[in-house]
Amino acid sequence: MIFSRGLINEYVDIDKISTQDIYKKLNSIGLEVDSLQKYSVPKGVVIGKVLECKKHPDADKLSICKVDIKSKVLNIVCGAKNVREGIFVPVAKIGTILGENEKRLEIKRSELRGVESEGMICSSTEIGLPKIDDGIMHIDESIGTFEIGQELSEIAFFDDYIFEIDLTPNRGDCLNIQGIARELSASFDISLKSGEKLEDEDNVLGIGRLIQVSYEGKSDSSMLYKVVKLNDFKLPLKYKLRLAYSDSLEKNELDSLLEYCTFITGVAMKSYDYDILVEGKSEDFKPLLTIKRDKDLLDSVYCDEKLSVVGVNHTNNLEDSKNSGTFIIEASYIPPDIVSKKVMGKELKKDHKSFYRSSRGSNPKLVDGIDLLCKFIGTYSKESVIYSGTHEITQNYKATPLSIDVETISNIIGHKIQKSQIVTILKNLSFRVDVSPDEQFIAITPPPFRHDIENIQDVTEEIVRIIGIDNIKSEPLCMHECKKSNKTMENFFKKRELRYRSSAVGFSETIHYLFDHREKMEKYGIEPIDKNLEILNPITNELNTLRRNLALNLIVSVERNKNLGKKRCAFFEIGSVYDTNREEKESLAYIFSGQKEEENLLNGGKVKEITFFEFCEKISSIIGDFEIATLKNPPKIAHPYQAGELILNGENIGLVYKLHPNIQNELDIFDTFICEIDFEKIPYGIKKASVFSKYQPLQRDLSVVISKDIKFSEIRRAINSLNISEINSFYPLDTFTTKELGEKISLTIRFNMQSLDRTLEENSINDMTDKILKLLEDNFEASLR
């Protein structure tokens, strides 16, 4: 809703209230002010009267005008079609600056095809107003009294503030000026201005002479009809500008008037061209409008053919220039819940504007709209005829009475609210209030336009709005202790620890969308989720499925940052991934691509690319010790010979691999390593100490020559199977190949030895190393180097 202070002032007396106070109040009562600004007609634009208007001798499209601006008569060349003698127009004098920035225009003395021009006759948009007509703006008395030569910005109408408010969907009653006036009246406790009652004129034909209205079957809608005969109807400037600000100005003058009546009263209105309905019919033909349900069970208006659908499709659609003739005016109402339920889920031809209003609740008091319309026509189109009487179909919408009690309202708010205060607020908001003096309970009936009031909490909200939340005290809550230990809480701490460790090791945290690209996944050999469980309405084709892993998104980020010139990318993410049955689990993934560190003083600018084992070492310093086992079926995106399973306590917890060189080439990225781990399987929490030896620890390195094909995991398993308790730990220290070794490698294993109960002696150490050597010789054909 966009409206000016002046417009509101026509309906409620806000003369004594500052604009800033209105701004604050609107916000506090739930009508959020999106913007507040002044009209911005530039200085130097004055009112001029076109005294004379002649065609330019050398240009068909230009006119030469003599324009009186009081101080002098200006000679102005004007290109608008709608310039003519006798009209009042905005004139930008020489030196005036119109517009800002790239639209800035300074008016200068100029010559157009040999004729001097001493200013510019302006359109509404040229002087910072919304577009109303093609061509220049015609000024009329509707904007108030004015004088020739007067600065436009000094006229009261343009010396005003414009409010733009955002309405919540429950407040259809405030989609009109009277509704907003009512809210201000209740919240400031000031009176509404009442319009004068309209009487039908005597000696005018009754509506019954022109049309008949009937209904068939059940109907939810109330309808009210009036017939008018117009003669060259024109909506004055003031109203056009007000509509244009709300983007509601129609091309047709009568349609614009109907929009204006709706804008003010909230009554949904539509016009029908009577002349079309009777075209080709005999002279005594009377059109019959029938209201009945269409195939979608929506109340519709028929006159042989379907003319409109109540609350759903009743756009005004008169011919642009038709502003004379006879018109049927229709005001209608359908309860918002009924129309919303009926329209829900159906593919209907919907007119957004009509449905927006009807589904939020238009004004059920139809006569408000019709009266305002008639008043307008009476005032601004003297030669028009308003036929007496109306046709109406009225439904009885029962407002539900509610019983509310003061204590409950006070409890919800948090401090005592006086009964008298509640009564006053509700009465100001047009509720019917029946109160017996001693009782806690108050019987209330919401007004018909407040369909959103259903229970005591709704009523409390009304009280809160009008009291103002600023006037509610802040009070700490005393409450019972409740249980808190759960998996989510533990996971929060676990994630936080892993995340901070990861960043300390050099990985940056990322957040990617939960989505992935189905076709790309298939290409990379990752089976997407079951087709029958797929997203129905993806936002783009590249985000058309749920991700199965975090790796693919991380690869995209590496590619993007490589293109930004990054030589080193190290990212991680913790997030949800899905299996093919769309079951959710949390995953932790790392990616490292390119240089293992940035060039710096320590490496003298010479940096190598990260390798498989360096990558694993980083992961291990985050999540702890693990072993890596070979993969029988490495994923398609992995380098088949640089891929493994992460094994922790004998359980597979994730994958680590180098990205397949083909994909690296395709994406033009450096050597890239990926590790993806099942978050749930990462240990967290309590670590246990075990008994440790206080005797001298010893180190022994054993170097053997062994076949290339033997995996270290096999050697590890074999040595472990010896169950030598004195071996604290052992690990490969060095491997190398030479020409002489051929298909064999030299492998050095380091053993850390320590006994729990004694200092190890040389011969017992030798026994152990002999045992190990024999094992390696027997099982793997190894030999001592």
Provide, rounded to whole angstroms, the least separation between the CB of residue 616 and another protein: 17
Give 344 or 691: the residue with its C-beta nearer to another protein.
344
Q: Do 678 and 498 meet the contact criterion of CB atoms below 8 Å apart?
A: no
Tokens of 401: 């009475």
Q: Nearer to another protein by C-beta: 455 or 735?
A: 455
The only residue of 476, 604, 605, 685 in contact with another protein, by rule CB under 8 A = 476
12, 30, 481, 690, 703 from 172: Cα distances, Å: 19, 13, 42, 71, 86
**Binding flag, residue 532, another protein (CB under 8 A):** yes
Three-state SS string over 397-448 comes to CCCCCEEEEHHHHHHHHCCCCCHHHHHHHHHHCCCEEEECCCCCEEEEECCC
At residue 293, what are phi and psi to the nearest 5 degrees?
-80, 140
- String marking each residue 231-270 x if it binds another protein according to CB under 8 A: ----------------------------------------
Tokens coding 304:
């042989």
The answer to whether the beta carbons of residues 133 and 12 sit under 8 Å apart is no
Q: Does 75 engage in binding with another protein (CB under 8 A)? A: no
Per CB under 8 A, the segment of 115-123, 209-217, 243-251, 334-342 that binds another protein is 334-342
In angstroms, give the least distance from the CB of 534 to another protein: 6
CA 127, CA 92: separation in Å to the nearest integer? 9
**Minimum separation from the CB atom of position 477 to another protein (A):** 4
User: What is the C-alpha to C-alpha distance for residues 186 and 192, in angstroms, rounded to an integer?
Assistant: 9
Contact region with another protein (CB under 8 A), list: 133-141, 305-313, 466-474, 713-721: 466-474
Q: Which of 106, 216, 497, 598 binds another protein (CB under 8 A)?
A: 598
**Beta carbon of residue 362, minimum distance to another protein (angstroms, whole number):** 13
Under the binding rule (CB under 8 A), the answer on residue 514 touching another protein is yes
Neighbours of 199 (CB within 10 A): 8
Does 641 bind another protein (CB under 8 A)? Our answer is no
How many other CB atoms are found less than 10 A from the CB of residue 285?
11
* Binding of residue 570 to another protein (CB under 8 A): yes
DSSP code for 192: B
Are 405 and 297 in contact by the 8 Å Cβ rule? The answer is no
Geometric angle at alpha carbon 310, from 304 and 311, rounded to 5°: 155
Q: Which of 534, 627, 678, 777 binds another protein (CB under 8 A)?
A: 534
Please report, as residue ranges, which positions from 133 to 162 form the binding site for another protein (by CB under 8 A).
none
H-helix or E-strand containing 376? helix 366-380
The pairs formed by 52-59 with CB atoms below 8 angstroms and a separation of 24 or more are 52/85, 53/78, 53/83, 53/84, 53/85, 56/112, 56/113, 56/115, 58/113, 58/114, 59/112, 59/113
Q: How far is the CB of 243 from another protein (least distance, A)?
A: 24
Binding map of another protein across residues 172-191, x = CB under 8 A, - = no contact: --------------------
In residues, how long is the chain? 785
Shortest spacing between CB 36 and another protein, in angstroms = 8
Q: Which of 150, 170, 620, 769 binds another protein (CB under 8 A)?
A: 170
Shortest Cβ distance from residue 263 to another protein (Å)?
Answer: 20
Min. distance of Cβ 455 from another protein in angstroms? 6
x/- site string to another protein, residues 348 to 387, per CB under 8 A? -----------xx---------------------------
652 binds another protein, rule: CB under 8 A: no
User: For residues 168 and 649, which CB has a smaller minimum distance to another protein in the complex?
Assistant: 168
- Give the C-alpha separation, 465 to 458, whole Å: 11
| Nearer CB in complex with another protein: 349/531 | 531
Nearest to 77 by CA among 62, 95, 97, 58: 62
Among 56, 234, 427, 512, binds another protein (CB under 8 A): 512
100, 527, 584, 761: which one binds another protein (CB under 8 A): 584
Site residues for another protein, 403-422, by CB under 8 A, read 408, 411-415
State in angstroms the smallest separation of the CB of 472 from another protein.
6
Query: Least separation, in Å, of the C-beta of 417 and another protein?
Result: 11
Q: In sequence order, what are the beta bridge partners of 734?
A: 748
Least gap, CB of 604 to another protein (angstroms)? 12
Token pair 């490589």 is at which residue?
562
Among 473, 606, 688, 739, contact with another protein (rule: CB under 8 A): 473
